[in-house]
Amino acid sequence: MKHKVQFKYYAPDAKEVYLLGDFNKWNPIKKPMKKNEKGEWLTRAILPEGEHQYKYMVDGKYENDPGAVRYVDNGVGTLNSVRIV
């Protein structure tokens, strides 16, 4: 079963924010986010049940989700955020 999952990242001064993860082959161009009046960047993704690794690209820099349930080593010296659906 697939679920509609919202992702939110607070970055009021950012010019652009993208969501990338195992669900979009780590391609940030596939998931641009939209900024609301509170400075939160939002998008939704349709995800199957299970564990998904992801990051945000904020003005060209990779950032983890400070609200992630946990983080995992990605094998290249940094961590990925984890979302469980």
Alpha carbon 40 to its chain centroid, in Å, reads 13
Q: What distances in angstroms separate CA 55 from CA 15, 43, 44, 50, 75, one per listed residue?
A: 17, 13, 14, 17, 14
Which residues are within 8 A (CB) of 71 and not within 5 positions of it... i.e. 6 or more apart? 64, 79, 80, 81, 82
> What is the pLDDT, as a whole number, of residue 40?
98
Q: Which of 41, 44, 43, 51 is nearest to 81 (CA)?
A: 51
Instruction: For the domain covering 2-84, report its CATH number.
Output: 2.60.40.10
Q: Residues of the chain with pLDDT > 90: what percent? A: 95
For the chain, the structural domain boundaries read 2-84
Q: Is the pLDDT of residue 79 over 90?
A: yes
Give pLDDT tens digits for 25-53.
999 888 899 999 999 999 999 999 999 99
What is the rounded CA–CA span in Å between residue 23 and residue 15? 24
